[in-house]
């Protein structure tokens, strides 16, 4: 990764209205409309340890029973291959490969560089489909007599025929877990905001690969800042009642209701940028006052009680919890321009984190707590940076002529999801931590504020 000293910047309003200056602007007037988006053989189970580098994987087309290859290919085979290519620890082999798994193909697979070969059979029975997986350990088989096939992993997956994509994602994650001990992220979701018309934004959800879009809200108003609890509950800001309110779910699967303002707290000012605590019991958010300042407030969702953590006549916004729920990172202009600060969960021990550059905001604490992603204005645009807490250093992730904003972490901490106008309009993108693997999530335009989650 590239370490870059930040230069001197000017303040700028980030797209989406919930940046540092966005809180200031929305605290003073109601938002106006925005521009319109125009599975034979003898088996022996073998334990495979994680190893350095990538593991060569072969994947012949699955054997089919009761299904058409034209349906299985796009909804299962292609999905699984993409999942494995994106997973990190696998190198999927592609050229001049055997087309089956048998004793006679062990040496050709070995010569091709395969360490694992996936033997798949997909069977349909009525509306149910079963995917039988056997993972051939090529080296272990070759080191034996070459006739007894030795398998690293075997499992059957059963579900409705419409769930082939989900089965592919689950299978890929199981393989990552088997190899590395850590769950993969193929079967995860990304929730984000999409502008539907001037002044109308709704929440959407897609699979990690950008497929299977689902509209989560239909308020016909401005709905912003989604946050997802560990159990999958949503919370967000919506203007559907006129002024910004925090709506969401008190229980998994329950209807959406207003969480704040509430009777226990009363009306205390406009609210922005909610974020669930790791225990799913609290929401931290920013609340503005009549003077144009804002403070970090924590809401106990069940009781409705709130506690203000900051107080000093500044703009304090964009809270982000550490994984233990004991500290909060946030943006503040208490020393001039916006910078990233840390404090304890009760508001004590406030200290500045970022020291390079004059405009740093939108902190996002990583899942293991070792890093904080944020955006910084650099050479006239916004780029993604990560701050490694153990090193006390900031590293630049994105570069280029476009702005990159609102970072959030993948559950495995290997990638960031963010919004960027590098494709023209603001869209959702992902990047690895080197910045060398930047991918657009979907074709949706006028999108922002993405959050990556396992729980939905």
- pTM here is 0.86
pLDDT in tens, 267-313: 677 999 999 999 999 999 999 988 889 999 999 999 999 999 998 78
Q: How far apart are CA 274 and CA 284, in angstroms?
A: 6
Check whether 192 has a pLDDT greater than 50. Answer: yes
pLDDT of residue 419: 97
Indicate the CATH number of 55-180 among 1.10.3720.10, 1.10.760.10, 3.40.50.10070, 3.40.50.1110.
3.40.50.10070
What percent of the chain clears pLDDT 70, i.e. is strictly above it? 88
pLDDT of residue 266: 66
Residue 388 φ/ψ, nearest 5 degrees = -85, 110
pLDDT tens digit sequence for 59-77:
999 999 999 999 999 999 9
| Domain boundaries for CATH 2.120.10.30 within the chain | 20-37+188-453
pLDDT at position 214 over 90:
yes
**Domain spanning 20-37+188-453: which CATH class is it, in words?**
mainly beta
| ∠ Cα 234 238 240 (to 5°) | 130
Average pLDDT, the chain: 88
- Alpha helices in 48-190, H assignment, sequence order: 69-72, 78-87, 106-111, 138-143, 164-180
Tokens encoding 319 = 């809270």
Nearest to 191 by CA among 164, 156, 216: 216
Who contacts 427 (Cβ-Cβ below 8 Å, separation ≥6)? 419, 420, 421, 440, 441, 442, 443, 444, 445, 447
Contact 97, 39 (CB under 8 A): no
What is the spatial distance between Cα 116 and Cα 367, in angstroms, rounded to a whole number? 30
The pair of structure tokens assigned to 398 is 């994105």
CB 366 within 8 A of CB 320: no
Residue ranges of the chain that CATH labels 3.40.50.10070: 55-180
Token pair of 350, please? 């406030």
Pick from 379, 359, 395, 382: which is nearest to 4 by CA?
A: 395
Q: What is the mean pLDDT of residues 328-355?
A: 97
- Give the number of other Cβ atoms within 10 Å of residue 327's Cβ: 16
**Is the separation of the CB atoms in 353 and 338 below 8 Å?**
no
Overall size of the chain counted in residues = 456
The predicted structure's pLDDT at residue 50: 36
In this prediction, residue 194 carries a pLDDT of 98
């Amino acid at each position: 990764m590239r370490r870059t000293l930040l230069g001197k910047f000017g303040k700028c309003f980030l797209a989406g209205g919930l940046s540092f200056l966005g809180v200031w602007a929305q605290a003073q007037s109601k938002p106006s409309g925005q521009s319109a988006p125009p599975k034979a053989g003898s088996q022996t189970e073998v334990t495979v340890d994680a190893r350095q580098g990538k593991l060569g994987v072969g994947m012949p087309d699955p054997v089919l029973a009761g299904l058409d290859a034209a349906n299985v290919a796009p909804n299962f085979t292609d999905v699984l291959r993409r999942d494995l290519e994106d997973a990190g620890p696998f190198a999927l082999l592609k050229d001049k490969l055997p087309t089956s798994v048998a004793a006679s193909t062990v040496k050709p697979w070995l010569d091709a560089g395969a360490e694992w070969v996936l033997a798949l059979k997909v069977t349909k029975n009525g509306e149910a489909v079963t995917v039988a997986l056997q993972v051939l350990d090529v080296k272990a088989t070759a080191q034996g007599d070459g006739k007894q096939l030795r398998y690293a992993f075997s499992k059957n997956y059963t579900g409705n025929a419409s769930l082939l994509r989900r089965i592919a994602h689950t299978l890929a994650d199981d393989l990552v877990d088997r190899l590395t001990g850590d769950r993969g992220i193929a079967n995860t979701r990304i929730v984000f905001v999409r502008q539907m018309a001037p002044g109308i934004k709704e929440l959407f959800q897609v699979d990690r690969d950008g497929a299977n879009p689902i509209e989560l809200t239909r308020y016909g108003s401005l709905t912003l800042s989604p946050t997802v609890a560990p159990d999958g509950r949503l919370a967000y800001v919506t203007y559907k009642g006129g002024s910004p309110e925090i709506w969401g779910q008190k229980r998994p699967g329950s209807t959406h209701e207003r969480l704040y303002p509430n009777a226990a707290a009363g009306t205390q000012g406009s609210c922005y940028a909610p974020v669930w605590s790791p225990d799913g019991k609290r929401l931290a958010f920013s609340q503005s006052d009549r003077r144009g300042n804002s403070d970090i407030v924590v809401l106990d969702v069940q009781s409705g009680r709130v506690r203000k953590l900051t107080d000093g006549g500044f703009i304090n916004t964009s809270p982000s919890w550490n994984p233990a729920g004991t500290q909060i990172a946030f943006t503040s202009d208490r020393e001039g321009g916006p910078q990233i600060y840390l404090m304890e969960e009760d508001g004590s021990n406030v200290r500045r984190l970022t020291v390079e550059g004059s405009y740093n905001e939108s902190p996002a604490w990583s899942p293991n707590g070792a890093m904080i992603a944020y955006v910084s204005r650099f050479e006239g645009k916004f780029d993604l940076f990560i701050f490694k807490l153990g090193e006390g250093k900031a590293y630049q992730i994105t570069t280029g002529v476009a702005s990159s904003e609102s970072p959030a972490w993948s559950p495995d901490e290997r990638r960031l999801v963010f919004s960027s106008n590098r494709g023209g309009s603001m869209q959702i993108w992902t990047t690895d931590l080197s910045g060398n693997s930047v991918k657009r999530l979907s074709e949706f335009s006028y999108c922002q504020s993405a959050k990556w989650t396992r729980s939905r």
